[in-house]
């Protein structure tokens, strides 16, 4: 069997195993709550707890506890919960008044759009700036990059978000928060606008309304900058360090002695060997980026997946929404890591051969 195919099978099999371990831990934390709280995981669609008396609510909870074996040992309870997850029954959220999985899927395009454009921006910029800085170690361009990277990694994202809002929204009025302007938002929600992908930057063009796409891009500027700045600096630093180490190797010294131009040595030879550690950093950054997007959504009022948690009721137990959000986040991160691992293995055969040989 080809090494890449073995590597692919190995990684695909590791995803469900990792998901199993993590979901066991997640439900283990849920076990710290009383059975009456966990019983809300099994509320049926349309359940309205607001109109129930205290006695009726207690009776409903006790019925759910008995029906779903919530007084049984942990493996039994986990098996019932995991089986529902596999069947797509993630529970009914009394706070959101919606099926949890349906609510997550409906809000996914907002989060996906923020994450996608942040990845598209920070990955190439981090690679390019890191390569240039490493190749010009100790020169002005390297010093400027190191200073910028230090500031980017030292500034907390929520502080940067507030600074950008104060300058570019409150001060200059260039880049407003939220996903679209009021007028375009009303149009998107009307029957005149058809949703294809859920990404406003794409659906605007598909509906023949480039003005909506441009409006969506304008609203994405600040949150995307906040999301990608830290990861740009991290990736750039890793790339710079890897390139500095690579420049000490004999093949580059020999290439330079033969008069090969710097650009050719940098991008056709050194870049290939630097790409592997850079992609490792990118995979970790992508995972951190997805979890960090939730804070940015709240600050810039993007109604994405984070809306599941921020809008849950404080008065009613909403275990389905909280656990659904946790499982969803873990699943997306595992998928992101899988995709980037495959890209990394495609670019570096040594990696997949080393994994399969270990």
Per-residue pLDDT of 274-320, as tens digits, reads: 877 777 777 777 777 877 788 888 889 888 888 887 766 554 557 78
Q: Which residues share a beta bridge with 99?
A: 92
Please say if the pLDDT value at position 251 is more than 80: no
The 10s digit of each residue's pLDDT in 71-112 is: 778 888 888 888 888 888 888 777 777 888 888 999 999 998
Q: Which residues share a beta bridge with 98?
A: 93
pLDDT at 10: 82
The fraction of the chain above a pLDDT of 90, given in percent, is 12
**Greatest distance between any 2 Cα atoms in the chain:** 87
What is the spatial distance between Cα 305 and Cα 336, in angstroms, rounded to a whole number? 16
Answer yes or no: are the C-beta atoms of 336 and 287 closer than 8 Å.
Answer: yes
Answer yes or no: are the C-beta atoms of 114 and 292 closer than 8 Å.
Answer: no
Among the residue ranges 72-76, 246-250, 342-346, 351-355, the one predicted with the least confidence is 351-355
pLDDT at 358: 45
Answer yes or no: are the C-beta atoms of 134 and 242 closer than 8 Å.
Answer: yes
Answer yes or no: are the C-beta atoms of 186 and 229 closer than 8 Å.
Answer: no
For 97, phi and psi rounded to 5 degrees?
55, 50
> How many CA atoms within 13 Å lie on the side-chain side of 44?
4
Tokens 């790339």 belong to 239
Q: How distant, in Å, are the alpha carbons of 42, 237, 239, 297, 319 from that of 316?
A: 14, 46, 48, 24, 9
3-state secondary structure of 98: strand
> How many CA atoms within 13 Å lie on the side-chain side of 341?
19
Answer yes or no: are the C-beta atoms of 205 and 96 closer than 8 Å.
Answer: no
Mean pLDDT along residues 209-221: 92
Task: Tell me the residue ranges of DSSP E strands in the chain.
Answer: 92-93, 98-99
> Which region, left, alpha or beta, applies to residue 296 given φ > 0 means left and ψ of -120 to 50 means alpha?
alpha
Residues listed for the chain: 358
| Domain definitions of the chain by residue range | 1-96+316-358, 106-311
Most confident of 156-165, 209-218, 254-263: 209-218
Answer yes or no: are the C-beta atoms of 325 and 104 closer than 8 Å.
Answer: yes
Please say if the pLDDT value at position 326 is more than 80: yes
CATH of range 106-311; options 1.10.3720, 3.30.460, 1.10.20, 3.90.320: 1.10.3720
């Amino acid at each position: 069997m080809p090494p890449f195919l073995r590597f692919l099978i190995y990684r695909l099999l590791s995803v469900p195993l990792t998901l199993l371990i993590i979901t066991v831990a997640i439900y283990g934390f849920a076990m710290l709550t009383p059975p009456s709280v966990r019983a809300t995981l099994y509320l049926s669609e349309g359940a309205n707890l607001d109109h129930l008396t205290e006695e009726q609510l207690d009776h409903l909870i006790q019925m759910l506890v008995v029906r779903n074996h919530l007084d049984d040992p942990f493996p039994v309870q986990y098996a019932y919960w995991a089986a529902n997850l596999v069947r797509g029954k993630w529970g009914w959220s009394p706070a959101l008044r919606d099926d949890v999985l349906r609510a997550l899927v409906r809000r996914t395009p907002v989060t996906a759009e923020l994450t996608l454009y942040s990845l598209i921006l920070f990955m190439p910029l981090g690679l390019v700036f890191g390569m240039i800085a490493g190749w010009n170690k100790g020169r002005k361009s390297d010093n400027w990059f190191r200073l910028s990277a230090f500031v980017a990694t030292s500034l907390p994202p929520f502080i940067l978000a507030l600074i950008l809002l104060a300058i570019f929204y409150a001060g200059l009025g260039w880049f407003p928060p939220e996903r679209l302007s009021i007028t375009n938002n009303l149009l998107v929600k009307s029957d005149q606008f058809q949703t294809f992908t859920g990404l406003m930057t794409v659906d605007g063009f598909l509906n023949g309304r480039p003005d909506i796409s441009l409006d969506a891009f304008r609203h994405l500027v600040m949150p995307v900058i906040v999301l990608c700045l830290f990861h740009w600096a991290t990736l750039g630093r890793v790339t710079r360090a890897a390139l500095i180490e690579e420049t000490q190797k004999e093949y580059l010294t020999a290439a330079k002695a033969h008069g090969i131009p710097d650009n050719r040595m940098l991008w056709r030879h050194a870049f290939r060997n630097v790409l592997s550690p850079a992609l490792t950093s990118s995979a970790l950054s992508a995972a951190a980026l997805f979890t960090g997007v939730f804070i940015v959504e709240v600050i810039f009022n993007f109604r994405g997946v984070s809306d599941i948690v921020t809008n849950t009721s404080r008065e009613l137990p909403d275990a389905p929404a909280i656990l659904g959000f946790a499982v969803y986040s873990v699943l997306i991160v595992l998928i992101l890591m899988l995709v980037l691992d495959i890209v990394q293995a495609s670019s570096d055969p040594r990696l997949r051969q080393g994994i399969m040989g270990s």
